Amino acid sequence: MARLKILQYPDERLHTVAEPVSAVTPEIRALVDDMAETMYAAPGIGLAATQVDVHKRIVIVDTSDSRDRLQVLINPRIVARSGESDYEEGCLSLPGIFGKVTRAERITVEAWNREGAPFVLDAEGLFAVCIQHEMDHLEGRVFVEYWSRMKQERVQARLRKQRRKVAA
């Protein structure tokens, strides 16, 4: 396994729409394993292939406290949603940036697992929010893009300042 480089906002590659996975191959399973190592090391609770500059419809999520319940969703599709909730979100592509986004409280997702077998998953709360957040990446959308233009500009300025500090 290998740790992958996570793209940092506002990298334009984060706005690439991901392509469906046609078959789960050994290369796709290796990518999933590398994504898991990357996410856990970051540390994070979700990661989309788009964030590691692979534009395939793959997301991984683990919102467990024990960090041992990895959920792999290949070609995920939300087939039902209900309720509404505001969660404070963060993102590995925007370190140190957090803010509220309104999303569905409960979702039903169809996807393939790491082996390519189809399944249906019901999710709620943080788990549902995380899946929706990661699926946004597959559509080329980053969570701060739900905010006003002015707030997005402040985020970009803050990130530039953080990068200058790291470079110094």
1 found inside a domain: no
2 found inside a domain: no
5 found inside a domain: no
* Domain, as residue range, for 60: 12-167
Write the pLDDT tens digit of every residue in 99-158.
999 999 999 999 999 999 999 999 999 999 999 999 999 999 999 999 999 999 998 898
Banded pLDDT at 60 (limits 50, 70, 90): very high
92 found inside a domain: yes
Q: Which of 11, 66, 14, 60 is CA-nearest to residue 37? A: 60
Count of domains in the chain? Answer: 1
51 found inside a domain: yes
Return left, alpha or beta for 140; rule: phi > 0 is left, psi -120 to 50 is alpha, else beta. left
The answer, yes or no, to whether residue 162 has pLDDT greater than 90, is no
CA 53, CA 49: separation in Å to the nearest integer? 7
User: Is 134 an annotated catalytic residue?
Assistant: yes
The whole-number pLDDT of residue 1 equals 77
Q: Which one from 134, 139, 145, 153 is the annotated catalytic residue?
A: 134
Bigger pLDDT: 148 vs 162? 148
Q: Please state the φ and ψ torsions of residue 75, each to the nearest 5 degrees.
A: 55, 45
Return left, alpha or beta for 109; rule: phi > 0 is left, psi -120 to 50 is alpha, else beta. beta
Contact 32, 96 (CB under 8 A): no
Return left, alpha or beta for 25; rule: phi > 0 is left, psi -120 to 50 is alpha, else beta. beta
Please tell me the pTM assigned to this model: 0.95
Mean of all residue pLDDT scores within the chain = 96
The whole-number pLDDT of residue 163 equals 84
CATH number at residue 147: 3.90.45.10
7 found inside a domain: no
The whole-number pLDDT of residue 159 equals 86
3 found inside a domain: no
What is the mean predicted confidence (pLDDT) over 9-15? 96
30 found inside a domain: yes
The whole-number pLDDT of residue 3 equals 95
What is the mean predicted confidence (pLDDT) over 10-14? 96
